[in-house]
Amino acid sequence: MYDAAALATTVERLADCLYEAGLRAGDRVVVAKDNHYDMPLLAAGAARIGALPVMLAPIASVDTVRELIDRAQPSLLVAGTRLLRRAATAGVTLAGPAVRTVAVGEPVGDLPPGALTLDDLRGGPRAPVRIGGADEPMISTHTSGTTGVPKLVLHTANTAIGRFPARMERCPIPFLTTRHSDVTAAAVSFAHIRVMAWTASQLKMAPHKVVAISDPGLATVERMVERHRPTMLEALPNMFQHWEALVARRPELFTQVRLYVTTFDAVHTRTVRTFLDASRRRFPVWGWGLGQSEVTGIIVNLFTRRTVRAGGARGDRTNIGWPAASVRVRVVDPETGRRQPRGKPGLLMVDTRARCLTYLGEDDRYRAKCEGRWWNSGDLGERVGFGRIRLLDREVDMLPGQSCIELESILLDRLPNAADVTLLARPDQPPVPVLCLRDGELDPGEWARATAGLPELAPPRLVPWEDVPRTATWKVRRLALREQVLGTAEASGTGKWT
């Protein structure tokens, strides 16, 4: 248990250790380790002495980790002991000889030659404080990497937490922001830029308790929620979906939750309904936001039990919202760039003062997605009236004339036994549904009823949930799944804006 003063002291001590390891103002340090809340603390310690922290989540491929470290060009690597063991087993050297390595975490084997631990670095002189300006580079995090190697996104203090929409979380807004009486809990990727805004809002709003859940597995979540009984709960969309099984078994764990939050991606109607129905609060709500690492928040909305009642008109009604505060969104033709009329799908272009500075090591790729002040999100959507925008799909995953997200939501609603549904679009062929079933079996009659009235679908493929490739933010890596299930990377979208 830490209070705010103890967290501040921890950051100071970590800054001292990093300084003792040779990190200086203007240097870069890569932090790559298992998911835990010490990641933003290490980032804060590096920023305190004027260095740039580059945060890497626990990516499955050590070759990808090595590629990102090379791209970051650090002078110091802070690596988790389990990552170091994985790299050694794979025969991968994570950094060159000029990069000093600091190992963090419980020992799990021999360390690389010359590597230090935090204990080796304690007791040195106090590090000088050289905090950068609000518009200078402060932190780099990475994108999800659903289509390949993630991109390293460079943010300032202003773009990460200082401007709207992130600042909105630090304003007292009914239903939406933290109260002093709240117990707030979050199960997210603590290497993600979202954690910067979340941390800033919790420190400003000062809830009764903040709970960081580093392991989203069902057993850990059950234990943590039972012990702390959160009133606000934030998690990644696919984590909430995975936890539906826990709600079915122990709904009483969620009776105190007044606000659920997802900010990364699409969320399915069944998931929202399941958790709102578990709350015994009079008016529980679900705050949804579509965001990207490069621009933070894009679209937001608030859902209630009424929004997601069974039998609603649309399967994707939890993926419709308004542009976030101070954000402008246009829907444009992918070929001409002209604005699309209401109801006509197009690319979502975003104008926001929270846009990142660049991609580390890939500035040309970053510039290719900028058109003046407009950012090409690579998402497809359409205007649906009253200033709202409906999210359809990523362009690379598009299903011409349809929405994979909407069809997936409909199938989840009609298949109670499905833990997950992913549609893989194919050029000039029906899309392939990939189903993860809780008992591993699909009755043909049940499938026929579930697909009644839907566009033509190929025969479903059954894949165990644990075999579906996912990113550190639990998004399905559709390209990898496509190759795994179909044996091809061919898709309907162009992928030009990934």
Residue 336 is classified by DSSP as T
Contact 264, 292 (CB under 8 A): no
Summarised one tens digit per residue, pLDDT across range 221-264 is: 999 999 999 999 999 999 999 999 999 999 999 999 999 999 98
Residues 6+ apart with CB under 8 A from 466: none
Residues 6+ apart with CB under 8 A from 483: 489
Q: How confident is the model at residue 73 (pLDDT cuts 50, 70, 90)?
A: very high
Query: Tokens 């099984």 map to which residue?
Result: 245
Mean pLDDT of the chain: 96
Burial of 302 (0-12, 13-18, 19+ CB in 10 A): middle
Output 175 or 139, whichever has higher pLDDT. Answer: 139
Which pLDDT score is estimated for 311? Answer: 72
Whether residue 434 has pLDDT greater than 80: yes
Task: Provide mean pLDDT across the span 121-131.
Answer: 97
Summarised one tens digit per residue, pLDDT across range 292-301 is: 999 999 999 9
Which pLDDT score is estimated for 313? Answer: 60
Summarised one tens digit per residue, pLDDT across range 306-346 is: 999 977 667 778 999 999 999 999 999 999 999 999 999 99
User: Which segments of 272-333 are extended strands (E)?
Assistant: 285-292, 296-303, 320-323, 328-332
Strand partners, 76: 29, 100
Which pLDDT score is estimated for 147? Answer: 84
Positive or negative torsion for Cα 452, 457, 459, 463: negative
Counting other chains too, the contacts that 171-174 makes at CB distance below 8 Å and 24 or more residues apart are 172/205
Cis ω for the linkage preceding 165 (within 30 of 0):
yes
Strand partners, 162: none
Residue type at 283 in one-letter notation: F
Which pLDDT score is estimated for 464? Answer: 96
Buried b (16+ CB within 10 A) or exposed e, 378-410: bbbbbbeeeeebbbbbbbbbbbeebbbbbbbbb
Which pLDDT score is estimated for 370? Answer: 98
Number of Cα atoms under 13 Å in the Cβ half of residue 384? 15
d(CA 345, CA 404): 13
Summarised one tens digit per residue, pLDDT across range 451-485 is: 999 999 999 999 999 999 999 999 999 999 999 99
Task: Provide mean pLDDT across the span 393-418.
Answer: 95
DSSP per-residue codes, 485-498: HHS----SS--TT-
Summarised one tens digit per residue, pLDDT across range 176-219 is: 999 999 999 999 999 999 999 999 999 999 999 999 999 999 99
Residues 6+ apart with CB under 8 A from 8: none
pTM for the full predicted model: 0.96
Structural domains in the chain, sorted by start: 4-145 (3.40.50.980), 159-395 (3.40.50.12780), 404-486 (3.30.300.30)
